[in-house]
Amino acid sequence: MSFLILVVVIILYWWLRSRRKPKLSPYMLEQFLKINDPIPLCGKPDVVWETRDGTLIVGDYKSRENQQVYESEVIQLSVYKLLVEKTQNRSVADYGFIHFKNRNMKKVSLMKEKEIIALYHRYWNVIGGEVVACAANSKNYCRYCSHKHECN
């Protein structure tokens, strides 16, 4: 009899605990966002999380085995953060999550708005040939590049 009561108490405890709002719940999934101010940007974050206190956190999923975080991913998440901030008019955390397989995730600090704006202008200057484009740091990256034969 006391064992049964114990089982019921345990079940009730887990049930009450599961009713509590999770620390992170998905606020937005793969929604296309676009802004024109301060600069014209667009993007589709894989996930935007909402914490219990209502703060939003951007997240992106990477399917590769290697769980290192690269600069390109920090840039991508930072742009998503700016997009969410300007479109949702809510506070967005200055960090984001990179999600990997097996529910692993890494927290990354994001770039500031003025750094993204500077990068945007540099992007168009690179395309326009107005500045000298820097090459990849890693020769390994060049292996899968379709321009490896024409790139000096």
Interface residue list for other proteins (CB under 8 A): 11, 14-15, 17-19, 26, 29-30, 34, 39-47, 61, 63-64, 70-76, 79-80, 83, 99, 101, 116, 119-120, 122-124, 126-127, 129, 133-136, 141-142, 144-147, 150-151
Which residue is it, tokens 């040939």?
129
Q: For other proteins, which is the closer residue by CB, 95 or 124?
A: 124
State both tokens at 73: 């991913």
Largest alpha-carbon pair distance within the chain?
Answer: 81
Classify burial at 96, counting beta carbons within 10 Å of its beta carbon; exposed 0-12, middle 13-18, buried 19 or more: buried
Nearer to other proteins, 2 or 63 (CB): 63
Q: Count of alpha carbons within 13 Å of 30, Cβ hemisphere only?
A: 1
CB of 151 to other proteins, least distance (A): 6
For other proteins, the closer of residues 88 and 120 by Cβ is 120
